[in-house]
Chains A and B, each alone.
Chain A
């Protein structure tokens, strides 16, 4: 089983602070996705990264894929209470459409 390790497991910060969460594996990913799950809802896709070293920005969120395609990070600048949620990384299973999820980082941004 190819595990995805996410850290930290929990993170509680004040509005306006910056933060970084991580997703690591011992295996190479063909592609990696980040989802955000808000309380009481299902996960929603934020981004897909495919190329080693790739950086993608989504407003205040910056996603980076490691050069070796074994790890990824998500950096949030000037966090807002609306960023509160569970951030999940997942690797694609390729043609069989299966996704393997990490356990996530539960982020709380306090006003």
Chain B
């Protein structure tokens, strides 16, 4: 049963600390997305990659957030320094041309719940 995995599931940290979230996309998927979900804003796209290349990170605060795909099996989202307003659930999703077709189905991981004190 192929699934997107994310680690850690929960993270509590103090303001100013670096946070790294990891995602393993479904094997064979070539697009990876990072989303942030809050009650106020809902689900917001932060960045996405195709074939490991960043295509759009316009939704991501550039001064403190960075997203990378060091290889096809790992995507990372880093926040440095973290702030209380970064508290949210961060989701990774993956897809491929075969699964998405023209309608872009995405497969979501279980999320990382981040709390910045």
> With the chains together, A10 CA to B50 CA distance in Å?
35
Q: Is the CB of B103 within 8 A of A31?
A: yes
With A42-B108, A92-B104 known as contacts, the answer to whether A101 contacts B43 (CB < 8 A) is yes
With A48-B103, A93-B104 known as contacts, the answer to whether A40 contacts B31 (CB < 8 A) is no
Q: Is the CB of B31 within 8 A of A97?
A: yes
Q: Is the CB of B93 within 8 A of A104?
A: no
Asked if B105 lies at the interface with its beta carbon under 8 angstroms from chain A, I say yes
By secondary structure, the B interface counts as strand
Determine the interface band of chain A, counting residues with CB < 8 A from chain B.
20 to 34
Q: Is the CB of A31 within 8 A of B45?
A: no
Q: Interface code B43-55, partner A: CB below 8 Å = 1, 0 otherwise? A: 1010010100001
Residues from chain A with a CB closer than 8 A to the CB of B43 are: 43, 88, 101, 103-104
Q: Is the CB of A98 within 8 A of B42?
A: no
Q: Is the CB of A41 within 8 A of B111?
A: yes
Residues from chain A with a CB closer than 8 A to the CB of B95 are: 97
Q: Is the CB of A92 within 8 A of B108?
A: no
- The chain A residues found within 8 Å of chain B, CB to CB, are 31, 33, 40-45, 48, 50, 88, 92-94, 96-104
A-B CB proximity, top 8 nearest: A42-B108, A103-B42, A101-B43, A92-B104, A48-B103, A31-B103, A43-B108, A45-B105
